[in-house]
Amino acid sequence: MPFDLSPPSDAQRAQLQAGLTPEERRVLLAHGTEAPFCGVFLDNKQTGHYCCRLCGLPLFASSTKFDSGTGWPSFFAPLDERHLGRITDTSHGMLRTEITCTRCASHLGHVFPDGPPPSFERHCLNSVCLQFVASGDRLPDPLQRGETALLAG
């Protein structure tokens, strides 16, 4: 199912941001990072999908999650490459690629070229940037765009 990738209106964005905790604001909106080994999805083994915490866009399937040993949930491939933005990040004195939600531009984490096949990428995510939807449950639709489809596990 194709998803509407147009950004939320200013009113929708304000409403979505009003529901964030201070930690979610720090990471999603101010490009922060949560501490390693503390995220709620690090050890999640359930089958389903990981969606953007702010706008609900599906980002990763549980079938692409792997234990990278880094302390953050890691995935070797996005559900749809069009759902992720990539930005060159030179903060912290190094060259990295930041990943954002294409629809709402929220910070998600970073992608590195040291993952497993077939992509050889490691998408390293902050749990606080994600919401998990178990297989068989409806996807979130906070923008009320009719995107409450069920995705296959």
At 112, which helix (H) or strand (E)?
Answer: strand 107-112
Residue 138 CA to its chain's centroid (Å): 17
Active-site annotation holder among 52, 55, 104, 124:
124
At 80, which amino acid appears?
D
Side by side, which strands form the sheet with 48-52? Answer: 58-61, 48-52, 130-134
Give CA angle at 115 (92, 58), nearest 5°: 85
Contact 39, 53 (CB under 8 A): no
Candidates 145, 143, 58; CA nearest to 102 is 58
Contact 124, 114 (CB under 8 A): no
Q: State yes or no: is 101 an active-site residue.
A: no
Q: Which residues are catalytic?
A: 124
